[in-house]
Chains A and B, each alone.
Chain A
Amino acid sequence: MSPSGKLRVLCVDDNKLLADALRAKTQRMEDLEWLGAFHEADDLLNRVFQAEPHVVLMDVDMPGVDTFRLVEELTAKAPQIRVVMLSGYVTPQYIDRALDAGAWGYLSKNDDVAELVAGVRKVHAGDIAFSRDVEIVSQRKRSTFAE
């Protein structure tokens, strides 16, 4: 936990409108602390690491970034940072790659806002977070985590 005791949230997404909305949303939540959003591809690994987030909401298709690789490197470098993919693309291939890379969840941009926030909290609490859409297209969650 940060000195403030809040859940520190960071966003990596080239969509600035989304980042603005997330900022407004998290700032209304007493238990969340908004660390900001990274829109550019440069040196993402180090910038995310230095921001010391608890949870990173990461867009899958950032221009110029292999985000799955980034998640892998981040997981290796700083396992305490938990990444949740946040994407408009919900396909079994992406979900599998994200989970293989070490992501803690996969949320759809078509989700209810409340579900996204709940997903962030769940991941911080040590749980895995999936959208309903994700559960529909991927059997992976059931087979991997049901055991």
Chain B
Amino acid sequence: MSPREKANILLVDDQPGKLISLETILSVLDENVIKTSSADEALKQLLEKDIAVVLVDVCMPNMDGFELAELIRTHPRFQRTAIIFISAVHLSDDDRLRGYGLGAVDYMPVPIIPEVLRAKVAVFAELNRKTNELERLNAELAQRVSELDASNERLRFADRMANIGTLAAGLGHDMGNLLLPMRMHLESLEESELPASAREDISAIRRASEYLRRLARSLQLLTTDAQAENAGSPSTDILEWWAESEAIIRTGVSRDITIEGRFARNLVPAQIGKAGLTQLMFNLVQNAGDALRGRAGGRIEIGAERDATGRNILLTVSDNGPGMDEVAKRRCLDPYFTTKTRELGTGLGLTLVAGLVRDAKGTIRVESEPGKGAKFRIELPTAGELPAAGRSSEIKRVANVRIGDSRLLAHVQSVLTSLGMVVREGDSEKVDVWISEGASDSEIEEVIRALSSEMSRAVVLTAAARPEGLDERVRFVRPNLGISSLRTQIEEALVGMQV
């Protein structure tokens, strides 16, 4: 039990002698007695302190006791403050009734009987203490209830996430289980003699199954324990990660939103696990997608580059959505802070992101202004240096592929993917290796022209015999020899070109 708090007893009387005599009578109660000699002074004390009981002389100059009581009652805070009138002259029944009518709890005639006054004041002082205690308990209870609500919400969320996680992992697993036999049969079909139209169909199925395979794999990444992943010395090549995870990241936002990846060349791997990176980017992109909901021309840009110091990888996720005000910007990483409608947000997505960044020993920052979109900047430590050129596994990892024959394209894509390369179609600007199907001289010339400007090397697939040494950055490979032979040839060609 806390020590007894003294209650404040306010005395209002214009005669100092009466104030002193009241103070003396009440001193044995061991409460705080506050003396005031006018209604003004009394009101000032009432506003400043928590007053348990007011003893008012009815007869005072300027504002008398009745007027003061009336004024006190108009203030919402003093609706229930105990007022006791004391009077030597206004002792008629009308006076008493007026006093009680103003809400007085008592009306005492002078001369005061000290024991009676003390007994009455003591009751109101105690009542005030009890009321205060009750208010404290009520506030505490309200706090407990709101904490309980929050933890219930957390539990429901965790439960929902666990269910979604189990579902996603199971779905990813079952997809993989069925896709593997499909892919095997597809390969068998690809290796057999078939008319060209059938080959095109097969190639289309192959592309769809590759997409599903990436989706299945990333579904599992989304549910992997990212913390366990950090136990070793995690390292993720951002370009390679993007090639695998683009599909799942895209599922996080509505289809009318454009997502573009802009990645610097020759990026050093980042010190974060693949699952962690997927979860963190998925949440950021999903968050941007939510901000863009219902807006035309929504656009999300994902970027990666080395930061100014060169020691970190700077990942960015920016959108052209409504942006955030100062409060949202400051608090968006806090748990349960959300600007979204209930069915959209749990307020935990960005908190999860902040946790993943922290686990990876990185930092996260938000840049945003209302009306100007938002940009999340994440700095992650790098994991070692760029691999030295040499072996096949160290071939630069981006390849542009331009091949007319779709069956061959599927083959080459799967070969390059198995060599750990990222494959792009039809974009000749940002690549290290260009694989082209060149049967005619003009096509070969185009490859060589492109090499002199952008590309570092090229592999040309052609059935015609081509002279070696045309340009040491160009190698010729004979297509249509079956997938394993194609793989060996391309691998050898790429390794041979490491100048």
Contact = CB atoms under 8 A, between A and B. Distances in A.
A, B from the same assembly: yes
Contact of B191 (A22, A28, A139): A28
Contact of B188 (A25, A91, A109, A112): A25
A28 B187 CA distance: 11
Given A114-B484, A115-B418, A132-B420, A139 B181 contact: no
B220 A139 contact: no
A17 B233 contact: no
Contacts of B483: 114
A22 B414 CA distance: 19
A28 B177 contact: no
B180 A139 contact: no
A21 interface: yes
A112 B229 contact: no
Contacts, number: 74
Interface in B165-200: 169, 172-174, 176-185, 187-188, 191
Contact of B183 (A15, A20, A113): A113
Among A25, A92, A136, find the residue whose CB has the most chain B CB atoms closer than 10 A.
A136
B188 A24 contact: yes
Given A88-B176, A136-B274, A139-B233, A114 B418 contact: yes
A65 interface: no
A11 to B, nearest CB: 11
Interface string A100-129: 000000001110111100000000000000
A109 B414 contact: no
A88 B228 contact: no
Contacts of B296: none
A52 interface: no
Among B169, B185, B233, find the residue whose CB has the most chain A CB atoms closer than 10 A.
B185
A92 B220 CA distance: 13
Contact of B173 (A17, A25, A89): A89
Contact of A113 (B184, B231, B232, B275): B184
A108 B180 CA distance: 10
Contact of B231 (A15, A109, A139): A139
B418 A110 contact: no
Nearest to A93: B228
Contact of B177 (A15, A25, A115, A133): A15
A86 to B, nearest CB: 9
A22 B174 contact: no
Contact of B217 (A25, A110, A112, A115): A110
A92 B227 CA distance: 12
Interface string B468-495: 0000000000000001100100000000
A109 B187 contact: no
A18 interface: yes
A92 B228 contact: yes
A20 to B, nearest CB: 7
A105 B182 CA distance: 23
B417 A17 contact: no
Interface string B218-258: 00100010001101110000000000000000000000000
Contacts of B224: 91, 137
Interface in A65-91: 88-91
B333 interface: no
A20 B228 CA distance: 36
B185 A90 contact: no
A102 B445 CA distance: 55
A110 B185 contact: no
Interface string A41-62: 0000000000000000000000
B213 interface: yes
B125 interface: no
A63 to B, nearest CB: 13
Given A15-B177, A88-B172, A139 B213 contact: no
B176 A110 contact: yes
B395 interface: no
Nearest to B487: A114
Given A28-B188, A112-B418, A113-B187, A90 B220 contact: yes
B332 to A, nearest CB: 31
B216 interface: yes
A28 B56 CA distance: 109
B188 A18 contact: no
Contacts of A88: 172-174, 176-177, 216, 220
29 contacts: A17-B178, A18-B181, A20-B181, A21-B180, A21-B181, A21-B182, A24-B188, A25-B184, A25-B188, A28-B188, A88-B174, A88-B216, A91-B224, A108-B176, A109-B176, A109-B180, A112-B183, A113-B183, A113-B184, A113-B187, A132-B420, A136-B274, A137-B224, A137-B273, A137-B274, A137-B275, A139-B231, A139-B232, A139-B233
Given A88-B216, A132-B420, 12 more contacts: A17-B181, A18-B180, A21-B181, A24-B184, A28-B188, A88-B174, A88-B176, A109-B177, A110-B213, A113-B184, A114-B487, A137-B274
Cβ-closest 8 pairs across A and B: A139-B232, A21-B181, A21-B184, A88-B173, A88-B176, A17-B181, A109-B176, A109-B180
Interface of B: 169, 172-174, 176-185, 187-188, 191, 213, 216-217, 220, 224, 228-229, 231-233, 273-275, 414, 417-418, 420, 483-484, 487
